[in-house]
């Protein structure tokens, strides 16, 4: 990937945010990161920062990853969303994935994060290319059908 990723990071613990940033810098990923702590900052960042990927801690004082994911879904965007948390049950992680998260990473296993980001971005790009391809096929079929009707 040649361009710099725009990463929106939802985290309220400065040391955790710094650790994640250090992990990403060591991996060689080029990125610009915006750190937010509140729902209001998050919503504003979705609109103004327009992230390529979202990294989210699960629980913040007045906001959590499930709310962040729901807000993202309401915007009808398929921006990749990765949950990064200290402890969650396997059932909770599966639940978050079913709700649309691309992946989840435990904070004590951050070495997985760069690959998780690249995989999520790659899937996102493939999904977008597939959607565009299908839209072109449907448009072409519609034009063909219209031309057939006019020819009759």
The pLDDT tens digits for 16-44 are 999 999 999 999 999 999 999 999 999 99
pLDDT of residue 152: 64
CA distance 123 to 95: 20
Beta strands in 28-145 (DSSP E): 31-36, 53-56, 59-60, 63-64, 81-85, 103-106
pLDDT confidence tier of residue 60, bands split at 50, 70 and 90: confident
pLDDT confidence tier of residue 2, bands split at 50, 70 and 90: low
* DSSP letter, residue 76: T
CB 56 within 8 A of CB 84: yes
Given a cut of 70, whether residue 101 has pLDDT beyond it is yes
Given a cut of 90, whether residue 113 has pLDDT beyond it is yes
CA distance 35 to 112: 20
Select from 82, 84, 83, 94 the least CA-distant residue to 118: 82
- Cα atoms in the 13 Å half-sphere on the side-chain side of 6: 9
pTM of full prediction above 0.85: no
Q: What is the mean pLDDT of the chain?
A: 87
pLDDT of residue 138: 73
CB 136 within 8 A of CB 142: no
Mean pLDDT of 120-140: 75
- pLDDT per position as a tens digit, 67-99: 999 999 998 888 999 999 887 777 888 888 888
- Percentage of the residues of the chain whose pLDDT score is greater than 70: 91
48 vs 95, residue with greater confidence: 48
The secondary element (H helix, E strand) that includes residue 93 is: helix 90-98
């Amino acid at each position: 990937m040649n361009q710099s990723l725009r990463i929106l990071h939802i985290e309220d613990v400065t040391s955790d945010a710094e650790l994640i940033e250090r992990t990403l810098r060591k991996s060689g990923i080029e990125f610009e990161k915006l750190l937010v702590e509140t729902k209001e900052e998050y919503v504003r960042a979705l609109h103004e920062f327009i992230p390529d990927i979202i990294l989210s801690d699960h629980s913040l004082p007045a906001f959590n990853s499930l709310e962040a994911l729901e807000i993202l879904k309401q915007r009808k965007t398929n921006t990749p969303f990765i949950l990064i948390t200290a402890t969650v049950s396997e059932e909770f992680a599966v639940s978050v994935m079913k709700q649309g998260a691309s992946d989840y990473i435990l904070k004590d296993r951050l070495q997985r994060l760069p690959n998780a980001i690249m995989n999520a971005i790659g899937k996102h790009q493939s999904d977008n290319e597939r959607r565009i391809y299908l839209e072109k096929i449907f448009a072409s079929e519609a034009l063909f059908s219209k031309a057939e009707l006019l020819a009759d």
